[in-house]
Amino acid sequence: MARIDLDSVRKIYPGGVEAVKGVDLPIEDGGFVVLVGPSGCGKSTLLRMIAGLETISDGEIRIGGRRVNDAEPADRDIAMVFQNYALYPHMSVRQNLSYGLRNRRMARDEIARRVEETARILEIDAFLDRRPKALSGGQRQRVAMGRAIVREPAAFLFDEPLSNLDAKLRVQMRGEIKQLQRRLGTTSVYVTHDQLEAMTLADTLVVLNGGRIEQAGRPLDLYRHPDTTFVASFLGSPAMNLLSARVSGGDLRVGSLPLAARLPVPDGPVTAGLRPEAFRLLPDSTSGAFRLDYVEELGSTRLLHGHLEGQRLVCQMGIEHPLADRMTLDLDPEALHVFDAERGRRLDTAWQRAQIRSLA
Amino acid sequence: MQTKRTIFHNRWLPYLLLAPQLAITVIFFLWPAAQAVRQSFLREDAFGLKTEFVGLGNYLRLFSDPSYLNAFQVTAVFAVSVAALSMGLALLLAVAVDRVLRANQSYTTLLVWPYAVAPAVAGVLWWFLFNPTIGILPYALEQLGYDWNHNLDGTDAMILVVIAASWKQISYNFLFFVAGLQAIPQSLREAAAIDGAGPVERFFTVVFPLLSPTTFFLLVINVTYTMFETFAVIDAATEGGPSQATNILVYKVYRDGFVSLNLGSSAAQSVILMFIVIALTFVQFRWIERRVQY
């Protein structure tokens, strides 16, 4: 077990493409950090740099306080779970698990003990002598995890390990990974493009965009207090509504509709962010500003898709609420996020900070 | 593999479409094969004036003939040497290409050129290079204190034909090995690297075992090649000599039949070769076509 430190880490590929543009990230011992972002944001590259599968163009990576920039992957005391599992197809499950230990010339009885224990933890003891080909997707996933656990490394690296599983299995394995990491207390770095996976697994959530950290922190802090429109729209499903708005004299209007008053924000164009579940719509057939286009039933809740002053707006509400073609917004001004219209940065305000503190 | 199924309404059309292929097979393969089988039971004098049925006489004589048994042994040494040399070098080149130049087309194309060279030309080429009088390699070897003469020394002659036959085959093997290597997921090697295996260990414990279907396929192909298609190499380089040292089975068929005009014996030898081909084909269909898949 160890902490991992990334100091202004950069990756520049031959040809000049800069995939990672200076990332600083301290990872506590025993922490579970999830790197999330759209494809091409540099999250996998960053993970592979920690693993030693990509060279580090600039900056420094330390594992357990030791600089590992030039260390071989085998000498970094890390284990990695790959997206396609990367199980050795010509070896049995037992051989797959013990391969890394045998390469390190570990005593035979110690290998046997560790393999048995790992197999017991992951409940794969029944098929230790099978080849990976004879296993289901979920079982292969467990063996891939087992190969990491059996080594008892300083850190686990996960590269989108659940993306090849079906939806139901993914939820189950997600829970198991979380429990296992708690139980073993091993520092973990997990890469995914799935925001739900990221929210549920992370102690620390790192949102990457274009090779830079957009925002890092506890998942709920990021959800409640996104620094940028990118983070706001990336986390949460359905995504946050982002409306073009204008502030004049502290009053925020979308089109001609006033949404909030006395905001401590300078005048000018802004982006107003509204979580779909953070407001309600009330039927008002004469003066309702929201025009309902269609409804998606999710079972316990429903999604109302429509327009507000010509801009698309989604609202998530309980199924008990009445519907109408025209509706008005029932909005708590504190649920409103205000971003700079040009750069997408949060126009941070005292009242919003106070709100965060009270929620935390 | 998905097969396309066509339904013919005309009863004779399918046969008509198959006819050219069938005709070629019958005229150029089945008929000569039948002729060889028939001939192998007969003894004929060199002028074709007298023919006598001898039953299995030709076969029995072959298996008590030391020069035929020698040809078997020579063929085995030749086949194993060529397969080992050409596949070993091809694998080495393929690994080098795979490591350094992932999918570098021009380099790969250059390596494939020798395959386009006719076997006879390859034989002559190496014969020149190794010519004891004018060749450059014997001169170089002489500087090192080795007196090369494949016209007198059986081992030298064998080495010469092995090199000539392998050289041609390397490019073919190389292509298959490169394709096989590229089919191995990169993540497997990365996983092995993280699991503490060095490059050499990685190759022998992960890469080579995963290449085994390709290797086995090439082994059969190469053995078939050395047994039958190297006729021209032998003919151009050594003509089976000196003193039978490079007289492989297929070359002996030709010598005995068309030079010595011992047609019965030659026919019996080709029938034996035919059975060897059938056995190799069987091996290929039985184990390779049912490819090992992971």
Q: What is the 3-state secondary structure (H, E, C) of A265-280?
A: CCCEEEEEEECCCCEE
Query: Does residue A147 sit at the B interface (CB-CB below 8 Å)?
Result: yes
Nearest C-alpha neighbor of B291 from the set B186, B213, B190: B213
Question: Which residue of A88, A115, A163 is the best one to mutate when testing the B interface, meaning the one whose CB has the most B CBs within 10 A?
Answer: A88
Give pLDDT tens digits for B185-209.
Answer: 888 989 999 988 888 888 899 999 8
Complex ipTM over 0.85: no
The residue type at A15: G
pLDDT at B2 over 70: no
Flag whether pLDDT at B118 surpasses 80. no
Q: Is B294 on the interface with A (CB under 8 A)?
A: yes
A89 CB neighbours in chain B (<8 A) are 210, 294
Task: For an interface test with A, give the residue of B101, B190, B194 to mutate (most A CBs within 10 A).
Answer: B194
Please state whether beta strands A155-159 and A187-192 pair in parallel, antiparallel, or not at all (unpaired). parallel
Question: Band of the pLDDT at B101, cuts 50, 70, 90?
Answer: low
- pLDDT of B141 over the 50 cut: yes
DSSP single-letter state for residue B12: S
Q: For residue A75, what is the DSSP state?
A: G
Kindly identify which residue of chain B lies nearest to residue A106, measuring between CA atoms: B196
* Phi, psi (degrees; rounded to nearest 5) at A17: -70, 125
pLDDT for A288 equals 85
Segment 183-202 of chain B within 8 Å of chain A by CB: 185, 187-188, 190-198, 201
Residue with tokens 């297929």: B250
Task: Assign A352 a pLDDT band (cuts: 50, 70, 90).
Answer: low
Task: Indicate yes or no: CB of A78 within 8 angstroms of CB of B210.
Answer: no
pLDDT at A256 over 60: yes
| pLDDT above 50 (res B124) | yes
The more confidently predicted of residues B287 and A153 is A153
Residue A1 has pLDDT above 80, yes or no: no
**Lowest mean per-residue pLDDT among A255-269, A342-356, B64-78, B222-236:** A342-356
Q: How confident is the model at residue B183 (pLDDT cuts 50, 70, 90)?
A: confident
Residues of A in contact with B293 (CB under 8 A): 133
- Give residue A62's region: left, alpha or beta (phi > 0; psi -120 to 50): beta
Comparing alpha-carbon positions, the chain A residue that sits nearest to B213 is A90
| Token pair listed for A318 | 């309980």
Does A74 contact B201 at a Cβ distance shorter than 8 Å?
no
The domain limits of chain A are 4-224, 229-359
**Which residues of chain A have a CB within 8 Å of the CB of B216?**
none
CA–CA separation, B280 and B226 (whole Å):
13
- Residues A54-74, mean pLDDT to the nearest whole number: 91
Cα–Cα distance, A231 to A224 (Å, whole number): 10
User: Cβ B294–A104 below 8 Å, yes or no?
Assistant: no
Interface test with B, best of A45, A82, A96, A145 (most B CBs within 10 A): A82
Average confidence score pLDDT of chain B: 82
Mean of pLDDT values over A170-178 = 90
DSSP secondary structure code for residue B285 in this structure: I
B46: pLDDT strictly greater than 70: no
Distance, in Å, from the CA atom of B283 to the CA atom of B281, rounded to the nearest integer, reads 5
* Bridge partners of residue A251, in order along the sequence: A248
pLDDT tens per residue, range B215-250 = 888 888 888 888 888 888 888 877 777 877 788 888
CA B108 to chain centre: 22
Question: A296 vs B196, which has greater pLDDT?
Answer: A296
Domains and CATH numbers, chain B: 63-289 (1.10.3720.10)
Amino acid B109: pLDDT: 72
Measured distance CA(A313)–CA(A245) in Å, rounded: 13
Task: Give me the total of CB pairs closer than 8 Å, taking one residue from chain A and one from chain B.
Answer: 61
- Pairing relation of β-strands A290-297 and A301-308? antiparallel
Nearest-5° angle of CA B38, CA B42, CA B45? Answer: 130
The rounded distance, in Å, linking the Cα atoms of A3 and A191 is 17
With CB atoms and an 8 Å threshold, state whether B294 touches A74. Answer: no
Average pLDDT for residues B150-163, to the nearest whole number? 82
CATH number listed for the domain at residues A4-224 = 3.40.50.300
Judge whether residue B94 has pLDDT over 90: no
DSSP string, B234-252: HHHHTTT-STTTT--HHHH
- For tokens 């060897």, the residue is B276
Q: Is beta strand B51-53 parallel, antiparallel or unpaired with respect to A326-331? A: unpaired
Check residue B102 and give its pLDDT.
Answer: 53
State whether A89 and B197 contact (CB < 8 Å): no
Q: What is the mean pLDDT of residues A177-204?
A: 92
Backbone angles phi, psi at B276, to 5 degrees: -65, -45
Most confidently predicted of A180-194, B164-178, B214-228 = A180-194
Measured CA to CA, the distance from residue B134 to residue B128 in angstroms comes to 7
Strands (E), chain B: 42-44, 51-53
